[in-house]
């Protein structure tokens, strides 16, 4: 026989790429390779079979032989020679022995190959044979050759026990020996499901590949589209690497996907026989299919053998249910594109598919195919029927997509116009929605379709309800009601329910309740939290909370956007009114999330406003974040041109100005809000705003004006039937009377307050800050003291009636506010402890030590060694005693002798800061904000940005700047600097995601100013300049990075840094 020259490239294990990630679950399963005689890895092209195996083998310290056959190795002579070459690391000398022996043979078949190879292996000394793994990659190239199959099957059957064989193939492997071993459970198998990347792995891969943050939704989009197919994931990321991160899949689909499709055309499709190719192309028009469906649609061209062959050859077909199949998303897209070029009767097949789906009641599937089959009349008839259902299920964009595929219509049916109106309304495009509903009403009227006219008027009425214009809403809802007949009870009930809601918006709960009772006679179904809003606006706050919580538990993940009526938004307001800031905060954040998910900017805007309300009543209050949240809500609402959306912002801003003692600005905000609510005739919210003006005036000590505003609010609350508003007003009237020393007026107000609290359960007004009650931390304790002094209550009655307070103001317990970021500053009950107040510098140093070690504590001797390193023990102990005593007196001047300190605890000789004491520390707030942001940065980027800005604003300088240079401080300082840099880095990445490249560059400057060796800052800089089409600055940044790292650390930039540089300069 002709001598064989073996190519080393076929016998070398491939090398891993630089961007390979560690896949823990797959690695764990592959680690069992040496426990099974045979391992089979069967998956389609591009699933990373080879990469996964190489990654596993590099972690295993066992000898390994590798053979990668190709189409040219199509006879047993060549195949067996290469197999012997692959066995060389496991049986040294076998290659030359086998090649020399087969060269001497005149006739050669699989039996001769088998006999010679096995003889050669048996001739090796036992000590020469090494236990190990033999890999045969791309088995599909040779598995159809009968001689090779017979040879390799016998080789597997007779291999020695210490040899483990791994076979990789795109097609299913059918060898008798493997079937026999499989029956005994001795085959380790991997499928496409094992190799497909999970959501978490895609997320990790993206983070390693691009210096840009991706939201959870964007990663899910890539995962859903690629189904974890790594070749497609790589191509998408290659496309994104050079484009702005918008419309992720649309970019990749028409750019780097061309490479994938060309690969599939040449490496997969053309290798199939012609009948199989045509079946693949024609069946690809179906989302999923089964044999009977193919029979009905494709007719005689279909055979069960073709379907079996597709499955056997592993052509990206999955069985999603018993007997029901679908192609991989991207493979189906490729086949459909090829079908449009190569299948002449494709339009006819689409018509047959459309008729099939129509017969089986699957209208939307039928519509899709009938449009492609150009059956316009049938398509329009289906679209009329399902258009509003599409919108109400959150698929309005799908409806618009179908309409764009239809030829231009002279007259669009009003049913479709109504659906377009719904879509505009849910997207907060209210002017467009009203125009479409009016157009539909006119068309229905021409056709004498009065039910249609009613639906159109109802749509207009609902739009005015969404933007809280009750006069206009009432006008159109009445028209809608009058257009209905007596028999249309269900439709009438729905409109009566909307009328009830409108009365709530006008501050008329009694009429709202009447409409609601009428609606219930027609089996009215409350979908807009009407009952809860009636309860809220009539002061039954806890009842409202119960109703909404029950509704929230029933809500689906997708529901029709409900504007300001969203359950989470109503709950947040209820919690703010009842003084539960944590719950108010959580539900406001949920409202923001819902708004972003439903793509409803109005819901998002209201969510930020409710978030600000929650922050306003949370003590200690973060005014900066409060202002930011109100402004964010206002900015979003202003773009929608909804005047009423400003009123809650003005309410909050009025109170914030008052807390800053700016009565003029507070008064201006309050009156601006009143002007709007009176214009739209919302009596109840007018009462809230007058009440807010009264609160603000009282806070600013403008008691005469405050009383007038509160009395005006009380009259309106009375007309609305809101006892909670009246109780909150009584609280503030009592506050004013107390401060003005007017006992008679205090007696009236306090009696009213106590009576309303006892009757309606408003005791929370006496216990904690609420949006309409106390927001200053004053508490109601002085009310009860005054009531006892005036003889309104006995001491015993006061003790029984007055709530238990956690006081946070001077006179009740000491509160500390500590700024440790930057120069140390401490405020005691609102007054700063200046340098001279410390009296002893050692007391200040002791304070810093205890603060730094607050989570662990310090031994007395350790403290002494820090403060008096040169002193003897007795002198240091005397100094410590005096210093500690002085510090405790500084922190609590009113502390009784021998009474334990509230802030400093002692256990034996260990002293520790009391973490449960009444103090606020900027370091804790700084850390908490960053950790929160890091947890939600991908799911809720807007909220994460607010948290990051808050944390960065808190960082006024390095930890305890200007204090002694102690090792204890240095370690904490470096840790906090790292967090600060991480926050700035995340801000930069969020800016890149929104294409705010200039701002991202500013954040990198912040990082480099703090640590000029922070390499990721240079990576982000280059990325920004690259996106801004400025290769000169990319090169300059890279040069600066190289120089800095070389001078400071004597290292070169990382591979990732160099890759980004090359990406934007090559």
Find the helix packing angle between 376-392 and 346-359, rounded to 10°: 60
Residue 714 reports pLDDT greater than 80: yes
pLDDT digits (tens, 9 = 90+) for 1019-1053: 999 999 999 999 999 999 999 999 999 888 888 88
Backbone angles phi, psi at 413, to 5 degrees: -60, 140
Report the pLDDT averaged over residues 767-783: 86
d(CA 989, CA 391): 34
Task: Quickly state the pLDDT bin for 562 (edges 50, 70, 90).
Answer: low
Task: Quickly state the pLDDT bin for 560 (edges 50, 70, 90).
Answer: low
Domains 8-195 and 840-917 share a fold: no
Task: Quickly state the pLDDT bin for 7 (edges 50, 70, 90).
Answer: confident
Report the pLDDT averaged over residues 440-456: 93
Residue 812 reports pLDDT greater than 50: no
Backbone angles phi, psi at 917, to 5 degrees: -70, 170
Residue 110 reports pLDDT greater than 80: yes
Task: Quickly state the pLDDT bin for 856 (edges 50, 70, 90).
Answer: confident
Q: What Å distances lie between residue 153 and 85, 92, 160, 670, CA to CA?
A: 18, 23, 14, 87
CATH architecture of 416-525: Alpha Horseshoe (1.25)
pLDDT of 527 reads: 64
Indicate the range of 207-221, 278-292, 354-368, 844-858 predicted with least confidence. 207-221
Could you tell me which CATH number the domain at 840-917 has? 1.10.10.10
pLDDT of 554 reads: 64
Sequence-distant (≥ 6) Cβ neighbours of residue 860 within 8 angstroms: 877, 880, 909, 910, 911
Residue 841, both tokens: 């510098």
pLDDT digits (tens, 9 = 90+) for 116-170: 999 998 887 666 788 999 999 989 889 889 999 999 999 999 999 999 999 999 8
Report the pLDDT averaged over residues 875-887: 93
pLDDT of 801 reads: 61
Q: Please, what is the Cα angle at 34 between 31 and 37, to 5 degrees?
A: 130
pLDDT digits (tens, 9 = 90+) for 382-438: 998 988 888 876 677 888 888 888 888 778 899 999 999 988 888 778 899 999 999
Domain 527-637 fold is 1.25.40
Indicate the range of 242-246, 835-839, 843-847 predicted with least confidence. 242-246
Q: What Å distances lie between residue 568 and 216, 602, 880, CA to CA?
A: 21, 14, 54
Encode 441-452: b = buried (16+ Cβ within 10 Å), e = exposed: bebbeeeebeeb
pLDDT of 704 reads: 94
pLDDT of 807 reads: 40
pLDDT digits (tens, 9 = 90+) for 658-710: 999 999 999 999 999 999 888 877 888 999 999 999 999 999 999 999 999 99
Task: With 0.85 as the threshold, say if the pTM is over it.
Answer: no
The mean of the pLDDT values for the chain is 86
% of residues, the chain, pLDDT over 70: 92
pLDDT of 238 reads: 60
pLDDT digits (tens, 9 = 90+) for 493-536: 888 888 888 887 776 777 777 787 777 766 666 666 777 888 88
Boundaries of every domain in the chain: 8-195, 199-267, 361-402, 416-525, 527-637, 642-716, 722-772+780-797, 840-917, 1012-1066
d(CA 1006, CA 1008): 6
- Contact between 481 and 455 (Cβ < 8 Å): no
When mean pLDDT is compared over 206-220, 739-753, 787-801, the highest value belongs to 739-753
d(CA 437, CA 428): 14
% of residues, the chain, pLDDT over 90: 44
CB atoms within 10 A of CB 123: 12
Report the pLDDT averaged over residues 981-996: 91
Domain 8-195 fold is Rossmann fold (3.40.50)
Residue 795 reports pLDDT greater than 60: yes
């Amino acid at each position: 026989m002709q001598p064989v020259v073996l190519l080393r490239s076929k016998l070398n294990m491939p090398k891993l790429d630089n961007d390979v990630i560690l896949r823990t679950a797959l690695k764990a399963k592959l680690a069992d390779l040496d426990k099974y005689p045979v391992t089979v890895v069967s998956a389609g092209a591009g699933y990373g079979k080879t990469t996964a195996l190489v990654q596993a083998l590099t972690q295993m310290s066992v000898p390994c032989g590798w053979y990668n056959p190709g189409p040219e190795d199509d006879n047993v002579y060549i195949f067996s020679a290469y197999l012997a070459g692959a066995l060389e690391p496991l049986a040294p000398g076998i290659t030359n022995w086998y090649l020399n022996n087969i060269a001497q043979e005149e006739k050669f078949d699989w039996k001769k190959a088998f006999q010679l190879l096995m003889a050669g292996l048996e001739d090796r000394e036992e000590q020469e044979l090494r236990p190990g793994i033999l890999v045969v990659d791309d088995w599909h190239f040779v598995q159809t050759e009968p001689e090779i199959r017979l040879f390799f099957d016998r080789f597997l059957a007779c291999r020695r026990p210490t040899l483990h064989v791994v076979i990789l193939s795109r097609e299913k492997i059918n060898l008798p020996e493997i079937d026999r071993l499989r029956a005994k459970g001795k085959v380790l198998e991997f499928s496409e499901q094992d190799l497909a990347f999970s959501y978490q792995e895609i997320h990790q891969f993206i983070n390693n590949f691009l210096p840009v943050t991706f939201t959870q939704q964007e990663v899910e989009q890539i995962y859903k589209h690629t189904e974890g197919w790594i070749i497609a994931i790589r191509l998408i990321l290659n496309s994104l690497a050079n484009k702005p991160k918008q419309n992720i899949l649309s970019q990749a689909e028409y750019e780097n996907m061309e490479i994938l499709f060309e690969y599939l055309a040449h490496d997969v499709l053309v290798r199939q026989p012609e009948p199989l190719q045509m079946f693949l192309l024609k069946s690809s028009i179906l989302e999923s299919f089964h044999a009977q469906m193919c029979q009905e649609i494709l007719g005689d061209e279909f055979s069960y053998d073709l379907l079996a062959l597709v499955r056997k050859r592993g052509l990206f077909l999955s069985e999603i249910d018993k007997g029901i199949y679908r192609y991989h998303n991207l493979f189906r897209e490729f086949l459909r594109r090829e079908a449009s070029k190569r299948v002449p009767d494709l339009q006819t097949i689409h018509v047959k598919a459309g008729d099939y789906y129509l017969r089986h009641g699957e209208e939307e599937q039928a519509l899709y195919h009938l449009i492609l089959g150009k059956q316009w009349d049938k398509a329009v008839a289906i679209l009329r029927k399902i258009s509003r259902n599409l919108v109400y299920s959150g698929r309005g964009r799908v409806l618009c997509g179908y309409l764009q595929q239809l030829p231009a219509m002279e007259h669009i049916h009003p049913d479709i116009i109504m659906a377009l109106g719904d879509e505009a309304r849910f997207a907060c495009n209210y002017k467009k929605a009203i125009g479409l509903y009016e157009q539909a009403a006119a068309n229905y009227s021409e056709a004498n379709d009065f039910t249609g006219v009613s639906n159109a008027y109802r749509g207009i009425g609902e739009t005015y309800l969404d933007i809280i214009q009750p006069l206009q809403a009432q006008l159109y809802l009445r028209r809608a009601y009058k257009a209905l007949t007596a028999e249309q009870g269900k439709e009438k009930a729905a409109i009566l329910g909307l009328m009830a809601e409108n009365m709530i918006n006008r501050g008329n709960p009694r009429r709202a309740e009447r409409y609601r009772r009428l609606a219930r006679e027609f089996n009215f179904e409350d979908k807009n939290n009407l009952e809860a809003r009636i309860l809220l606006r009539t002061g039954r706050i806890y009842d409202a909370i119960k109703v909404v919580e029950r509704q929230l538990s029933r809500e689906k993940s997708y529901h029709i956007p409900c504007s300001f009526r969203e359950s989470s938004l109503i709950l947040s307001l209820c919690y703010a009114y009842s003084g539960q800031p944590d719950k108010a905060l959580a539900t406001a954040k949920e409202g923001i999330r819902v708004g972003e998910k439903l793509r409803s900017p109005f819901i998002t805007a209201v969510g930020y406003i409710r978030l600000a309300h929650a922050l306003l009543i949370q003590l200690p209050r973060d005014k900066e974040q409060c202002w930011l949240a109100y402004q964010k809500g206002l900015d979003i609402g202003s773009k929608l041109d909804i005047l009423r959306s400003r009123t809650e912002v003005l309410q909050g801003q009025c109170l914030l100005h008052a807390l800053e003692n700016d009565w003029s600005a507070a008064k201006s905000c309050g009156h601006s809000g009143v002007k709007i609510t009176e214009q739209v005739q919302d009596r109840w919210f007018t009462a809230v705003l007058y009440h807010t003006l009264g609160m603000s005036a009282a806070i600013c000590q403008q008691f005469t004006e405050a009383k007038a505003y509160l009395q005006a609010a009380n009259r309106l609350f009375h007309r609305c039937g809101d006892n909670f508003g009246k109780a909150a007003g009584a609280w503030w009237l009592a506050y004013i009377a107390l401060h003005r020393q007017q006992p008679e007026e205090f007696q009236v107000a306090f009696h009213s307050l106590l009576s309303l609290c006892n009757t309606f359960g408003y005791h929370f007004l006496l216990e904690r800050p609420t949006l309409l009650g106390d927001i200053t931390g004053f508490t109601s304790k002085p009310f009860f003291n005054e009531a006892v002094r005036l003889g309104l209550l006995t001491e015993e009655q006061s003790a029984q009636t007055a709530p238990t307070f956690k006081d946070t103001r001077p006179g009740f317990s000491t509160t500390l506010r500590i700024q440790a970021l930057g120069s140390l500053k401490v405020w005691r009950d609102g007054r700063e402890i200046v340098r001279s107040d410390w009296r002893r510098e050692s007391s200040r140093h002791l304070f810093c030590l205890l603060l730094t070690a607050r989570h662990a504590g310090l031994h007395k001797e350790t403290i002494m060694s820090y403060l008096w390193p040169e002193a003897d023990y007795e002198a240091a102990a005397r100094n410590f005693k005096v210093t500690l005593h002085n510090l405790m007196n500084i922190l609590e001047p009113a502390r009784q002798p021998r009474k334990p300190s509230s802030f400093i605890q002692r256990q034996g000789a260990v002293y520790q800061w009391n973490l449960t004491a009444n103090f606020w520390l900027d370091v804790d707030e700084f850390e908490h904000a960053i950790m929160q942001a890091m947890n939600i940065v991908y799911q809720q980027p807007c909220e994460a940005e607010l948290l990051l800005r808050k944390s960065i604003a808190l960082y006024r300088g390095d930890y305890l700047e200007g204090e002694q240079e102690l090792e204890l401080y240095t370690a904490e300082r470096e840790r906090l600097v790292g967090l600060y840099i991480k926050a700035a880095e995340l801000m930069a990445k969020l800016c890149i995601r929104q294409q705010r490249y200039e701002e991202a560059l500013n954040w990198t400057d912040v990082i480099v100013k703090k640590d000029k060796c922070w390499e990721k800052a240079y990576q982000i800089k280059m990325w920004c300049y690259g996106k801004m089409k400025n290769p000169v600055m990319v090169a300059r940044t890279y040069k600066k990075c190289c120089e800095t790292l070389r001078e400071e650390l004597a290292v070169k930039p990382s591979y990732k840094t160099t890759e980004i540089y090359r990406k934007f300069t090559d």
